Amino acid sequence: MTRYKLTSYVLVSCLILIGFSILAGCTQNVPDTTIVKTDAGYISGINDNENGLRIYLGVPYASPPTGDLRWRSTVPMQPWTGIRSASEFSAFCPQPPHSDTSGDGMSEDCLYLNVWTPAKSADEKLPVMVFIHGGAFAEGTGSYPLFNGSALARKGVVVVTFNYRLGALGFLAHPQLNNESINNASGNYGILDQQAALNWVQKNIGNFGGEPSRVTIFGQSAGGASILVHLVSPQSKGLYQQAIVQSGPIWTNGTILNIYNSKADAKRYGEEYAKSLGYESPDAITQMRKLSAEDLVNNTPWPASAFWRIRTLRFKPAIDGWIIPDFPDNMFLQRRENPVPLIVGCNANDGITLTANANMSVPEYQAFIRNVFGKNADAVLAKYPAVTPDEVQLQLNHLMTDYDFKDSAKFVAGSMADIHPNTYLYLYSYELPNQPYGALHSSELFMVFRPPGTYPDPTSTRVSANMMDLWTRFAKTGDPNGGVNVTWPKYTREHGQYLDIGDTLTVRSITDYRKP
């Protein structure tokens, strides 16, 4: 072999070897396109190439509320070094042992959120939808499979879900906690968590391709009631631009649901709870901070009957004069809420599962009505008569649906319509296949989120497509119209109309909204 040929052979061989080395190096160090910078550090998520999404699960938005941080205002997350994995859901917040989400996945270290984004870069500035889960302020999690944000995100929005402190850990008020607070306030730690998550969105969502000036908060049941709190809380103003309330009751003194505690009642319930644990001393809270979260949760009353569970709920938002200045229904009555575009509504049969197992005789039902309605009791009993235990159950469902949910939605819509034109009222009436109880509480969530494999029948598919179009179009523009072939009128007191979301979309007069 000539010197020239040998030199050429060696050169080519070297180039081939170098090429393989470069290829091997690239294979081992493929750039992670999911890496995103947050204000506390870098995270890496999941590439869902099939759906064109990037997904981030278990992202911390606050420091763990454990030890001395239990029953304190939410503390920002401490920065970390390196790249933190965000590919698995976090533990959910401690909750009763018989709740749907209780089990080994519980931890007091639970202040995490989840993000689904279709954005390919931070420059896209997509609208953001932040969901607040329900569960009577006592159970639930943002990682529940029903709240999978993939389907909504594919509609061109960034979706965020999160956990917040629940039950006694999230809503305990106590004089000693008031003394620790510079605002002389306690009991709304779960709401403070929600505000911390919304603050995190404002600071960080731009790096996920979201637009912090186009944030829609939406929630269902206790999550819907939470949205109403944010609409009146001074600390929440500016953290969102639009809101959707799904079956969110507002009454301080409803028929069955009493959503808010007065400051005095919250303090009294907290003292009674501490006493039930054996703590009445000046250092009761110090001692209770040493208890396990499980001990606190397991010693919180949790009746088996859904009716009595929500009727006797003690740990819930309190009118502390700081986070919540006044009862939200008073503030809406005085039109003191934040004027923003709003969708509000409820389900046609919201009350049926929530009044389950009331186990009330006819005389007990009549006494209950007289206690709740006072001088108006005879008129209520005439409209909602019951002569058998089965009829008692039926009428409790009608009462709760009409007074606690439908009247709440109409009241909120009327107040907001007075101060902002983009107000829309709905009634969800679609009955899921093989569901004998009608459009029951929370059933619309299957249509809004459309988790994988959910109700693939043609009618459900159409109803879900309609709801997702309305919800995401509202998130994008502040107006749900422009996609479906029905125009949803803005709500006004003078010409009240609402959208009936059933097998089809139908505009109806407000006179049809509440028919027992």
Q: What amino acid positions are annotated as catalytic residues?
A: 221
Residue for token digits 């819509």?
413
Cα torsion angle, 401, 243, 154, 503, sign: positive
Instruction: Write out the E strands in 348-402.
Output: none
CA 60 to CA 77: how far, in whole Å?
Answer: 7
Question: How open is the CA angle 490-494-500, to the nearest 5 degrees?
Answer: 45
CA 439 to CA 467: how far, in whole Å?
Answer: 14
Decide if 481 contacts 422 (C-beta within 8 A): no
What the block records as the tokens of 243 is 């809101």
CA 496 to CA 406: how far, in whole Å?
Answer: 14
Measure CA 105 to chain center: 19
Q: In what order do the strands lie in the sheet with 53-60?
A: 46-48, 53-60, 112-117, 158-162, 126-132, 210-220, 242-246, 342-347, 423-428, 497-501, 505-509
**One-letter amino acid identity for 109?**
D
Length of the chain: 516
Kind and range of the H or E element at 127? strand 126-132
Residue 349 gets which letter from DSSP?
A: B
